[in-house]
Structure 1
Amino acid sequence: MVMKIVPRFSQDRGHADHGWLHSFHTFSFASYHGSGHDAFGSLRVINEDRVESGTGFGTHPHREFEIFSYVVAGELEHRDSMGNIEVLKRGDLQMTSAGTGIRHSEKAYGPNQVHFLQIWSVPDTKGLPPKYYTRHFSDDEKKDTWVRIVAPSRATGVSDNREVTDHSPAPVHSPVTLFATLLSPSVSIPHTFPKPISAASPAKSYIHVVQTSGYNTGKASGATVKVTVGDEVVELKEGDGAYIMGESGKEMNVENVGDRVVEVLLFDVDAE
């Protein structure tokens, strides 16, 4: 089976600047269409959003999506029709399983801009009751290791309890697992490709380098990682991502080849 890496460079992402919102779209979203980047397995949305203080997404509906937010900087206020009200900070991971339908709002809280990633996936079961979860993962926990922050509800070690204190991953009803790391300069970490749902398909992962050093609509800069899969090698900078096809049981390697700590998200997609 061929192993390969297909870069998705930051400057090629969809981009929207509404003044109060600065957003990059990895996949088709809102008015951004026609690029050929519509989804990757059950992943449908990876938006890197910056929302200005005092503004945000007003109350709006969702159905049949798993929606999670990864807070990079600032504070994000979440309110929903299930009665949840919460202010999320750096290190927080919020997940809403929209199921049969919810309404929610997300706004910048406090005096500063909030920078977060909004991620959607398609559940493998329709008509589920809506649910809401938050988890917190500190910078220390993520230092130079992959921390599993979202995982399928059926996976080992995943709790359906909203009040867990053991930092178990948020449960989703999609075949998606999300890992996060803060990788120090000159450090490399491996990741083993899981078994895909379909034996006829390659193992699929998506990697995203968070744009932590500032809003940049041009060519990516800043922190840099080298991704190695078999004979394939690609360098990615802040805002860059890549589709990765591998073989179950084989390893990819992610190395920080820059001069500063780099924040990286890694999705295993459509895996058992």
Structure 2
Amino acid sequence: MSSPSALEIVSRPSTERGHADHGWLKTFHTFSFANYYDPSHSGFGSLRVLNEDRVLPGTGFGTHPHSEFEIFSYVVSGELEHRDSMRNVEVLKRGDVQLTSAGTGIRHSEKTFGASPVHFLQIWAKPRVSRLVPKYFTRHFSDEEKTDKWVKVVAPVEAEGVLDKREGDGPAPVQSGVTMYATLLSEGNSLAHRLPLDGQGKTRKVYVHVVQTSGYNDGSSSGARVKLSGEGKELELREGDGAYIAGLPERELILENVGEGRAEIVLFDTE
């Protein structure tokens, strides 16, 4: 994207994302991932991966290595069992956010726990420095906390209110320039997001994603629809859709639920 003086909004329709149905795994890739490659969608700022995964019971991602990425899981429904080489074993449920700062290298597995499929977002960000000591964090954010307001679920370690602790209140800490927000926006309600000042006047980057809470690849006209607007520009998103937004600091983006039922939305503000 260019460096606009005003707000710029560019659609990323779900129908154009990378997609794979492996039977046990149904997944959409917002950015290039695995066998899906599109040079026009290979990341955005520090954000490198945004996958929306559904995994059947009794299956999952077996033990595999990672390094030099910060990997976080945002659980939408079901239960996800995490195990890693740092001896962390945890079952994550709706509202849980789990962050692994892989650094110099870890091995982990993520599998469905229980009798129901798990639906979660898998997100990767690139840290500002390499060769970090691996760390693990979990946070929980209730539906009540997220209803009709933004909750900051991940933020840079130096940001105000961020605690570098395995568990606790507030956002999980990252060594990248990504801040992740989440909301459950009621039908007819709206929220604003103001692109933050960074002291340097640089163009800010935002990515918005509407979670597919009504079902996998539903494709119907029902369910959540979210209108993005700012500085005379508008774009409507359905579940699974996303949008790239760029603009100078202090520009304001409005998100309005214009569809049926509650909309679950995540927003990434990245340098």
Q: Is the 8 A contact 2:58 2:112 kept in 1?
A: yes
**RMSD over aligned Cα atoms:** 1.4
Selected match of 1:67 from 71, 96, 102:
71
Residue 163 of structure 1: how far off its partner (Å):
3.0
Equivalent residues in 2 for 1:208-219, closer than 5 Å: 208-216=209-217, 218=219
Q: How far apart, in 2, do the equivalents of 1:247 and 1:210 lie?
A: 27
- 2-side partners of 1:24 and 1:235: how far apart? 20
Contact 1:223 1:260 in 2 (8 A): yes
Equivalent residue, structure 2, for 1:183: 185
Asked whether 1:88 is paired with 2:89, we answer no
Q: Find the partner of 1:168 among 164, 167, 170.
A: 170
Q: Is 2:137 aligned against 1:133?
A: yes
Counterpart contact for 1:11–1:217, Cα < 8 Å: no
Q: 1:220 to 1:98 in 2, by over 3 A?
A: farther
> Which whole-Å CA distance do the structure 1 matches of 2:12 and 2:164 have between them?
34
Q: Partner letter of residue 171 of structure 1?
A: P
Residue number in structure 1 paired with 2:228: 227
Structure 1 residue 231: Cα displacement: 1.3
Change (3 A) 1:55 1:198: farther
**1:221–1:237 CA contact under 8 A, matched in 2:** no
2:179–2:270 contact (8 Å) kept in structure 1: yes
Question: Matches of 2:45 and 2:243 in 1, distance apart?
Answer: 14
Q: Is the contact made by 1:225 and 1:254 (CA closer than 8 Å) also made in structure 2?
A: yes
Q: Distance in 2 between matches of 1:104 and 1:52?
A: 18
Unaligned runs of 5+ in 2: none
Q: CA deviation at 1:34?
A: 2.8
Aligned equivalents of 1:262, 1:213: Cα separation in 2: 9
1:259 partner SS: coil
TM-score (norm 2): 0.96
> What CA distance in whole angstroms lies between the structure 1 residues aligned with 2:228 and 2:74?
22
CA shift, 1:162, in A, is 1.4
How far apart are 1:203 and its partner, in Å? 1.2
CA gap of 1:230–1:182, structure 2 versus 1, over 3 A, is same
Is the CA contact (8 Å cut-off) linking 2:203 and 2:249 kept in structure 1? yes
How many pairs align? 267
Q: Aligned pair in 2 of structure 1 residues 224, 80: CA closer, same or farther (>3 Å)?
A: same
Q: In structure 1, how many angstroms separate the alpha carbons of the residues matched to 2:27 and 2:200?
A: 34
1:11 counterpart SS class? helix
What's 1:236 paired with?
A: 237
Identity %: 62
Deviates most, 35-44 or 113-122: 35-44
TM-score between both structures, scaled by the size of structure 1: 0.95
Label 1:128 to 1:50 Cα distance change in 2 as closer, same or farther (>3 A). Answer: same
Residues 28-47 of structure 1 mapped to structure 2, 5 A cutoff: 28-34=32-38, 36-47=40-51
Helix, strand or coil for the counterpart of 1:34? coil
Alignment of 1:11-22 (within 5 A): 11-22=15-26
Match of 2:197 in 1: 195
Alignment-derived partner of residue 150 in structure 1: 154
1:177–1:49 CA distance, 2 compared to 1 (3 A): same
1:162-199 per-position Cα deviation (integer Å, ceiling 9, x unaligned): 132xx210000000000000000111111110135864
Does the residue aligned with 1:31 lie in a helix, a strand or coil? coil
